[in-house]
Copies of this chain bind each other. A is one copy, B any other.
Amino acid sequence: MVNKVAIIGMGLIGGSLGLALQQKKLAEMVIGIPRRPETIDEALNIKAIIKGTLNVAEGVREADLIFICTPISLIIPKLKEIIPHVKKGAIITDVGSTKEQIVAEAEKIVPSGIYFIGGHPMAGKEKSGVAQSEASLFYKKPYVLIKTKKTNGKAFNTLKKIISNIGGNVMEMDAKSHDLAVASISHLPIVVAASLVNAVVDMGDVKEKAKKLASTGFGDTTRIASGDPKLGLDIFRTNAESVLSVLEKFKKEIDIFQKALQEQDEVQIVNKLSDAKKFRDSIYS
């Protein structure tokens, strides 16, 4: 469907995109542009890419479609770096998990005739790294593409078709709604899980007892508190406003529960537990 795809950043997502694009015969050439030379060999070994280079300018030259798959904090710097070398008509997209700041900045930088479309695949695995790549990583998973007033319709549709072809369930969204939605289901839970763990640390004598008694329930609830703090910081740098907005709603819910506990308002306790169960079961059943 396109001639040449360049992938900047070869981790789990970048590698899986390379595999999926080749498996579905969507690109003649897939070139990988990682940060470290060893990653080129790893990516070539698992056939995630056809060629690799550390030279970004060379890698993106003549590319029809460029995926920026770096950590959030490097997306705009990489975009600035490649723009002078990108051909007219090229589509550039990213896979960052926050979108409002990135898309706004990208649209300021990208010259006319080159098309930036923000993206966010809701796909992942416990382990990261290019060696973990799977062509089926995006299969039936939501893949958000951001539409703005400036979005070029033709470029958007081209990217949308490619994502659908690798199995992604494309969801068109505006950046603000996306950032609020992921704040509620992905970023606020990091704050909450970390605070739950830190509350146990604050418990003095009881801390060690709690640690010994902690089992799968606490393990599940706090799993994302074991994520990389640097990735967390990237998220909280670029999506603080949405997280703070959802945090207000969360604190309101906590206060309602606290009051119900203080007053032993059993009707309210059961209502809140039942409402939560009902909505969660409607997602995961």
Q: Are A246 and B203 in contact (CB under 8 A)?
A: yes
Q: Are B209 and A217 in contact (CB under 8 A)?
A: no
* Contact A257-B191, Cβ < 8 Å, known A237-B264, A249-B202, A270-B229: yes
Looking at the complex, which one of B201, B219, B233, B261 makes contact with A236 (CB distance below 8 Å)? B261
A-B contact pairs, 17 of them (CB 8 A): A122-B215, A124-B215, A177-B206, A182-B210, A186-B218, A189-B196, A189-B217, A189-B218, A192-B221, A195-B250, A201-B275, A203-B249, A225-B276, A227-B277, A230-B270, A243-B261, A254-B254
- A251 interfacial by beta-carbon distance below 8 Å: yes
Q: Which residue of B lies closest to A194 (CB)?
A: B276
The CA of A217 and the CA of B192, in the complex, are separated in Å by 12
* Contact A210-B196, Cβ < 8 Å, known A226-B281, A229-B273: no
Q: In the complex, what's the smallest C-beta–C-beta distance from A249 to chain B, in angstroms?
A: 4
Q: Are B199 and A246 in contact (CB under 8 A)?
A: yes
Closest 5 CB pairs of A and B: A194-B276, A229-B273, A195-B253, A197-B276, A199-B250
Extra 17 A-B pairs, beta carbons < 8 Å, given A194-B276, A211-B279: A141-B215, A173-B209, A181-B203, A182-B210, A185-B214, A185-B217, A191-B254, A196-B253, A197-B276, A220-B224, A226-B277, A229-B277, A233-B266, A233-B270, A236-B261, A251-B254, A251-B258
The CA of A261 and the CA of B238, in the complex, are separated in Å by 11
* Contact A144-B213, Cβ < 8 Å, known A220-B223, A223-B221: yes
With a CB–CB cut-off of 8 A, which chain B residues contact A181? Answer: 203, 206, 209-210, 213
Q: Which residue of B lies closest to A243 (CB)?
A: B261
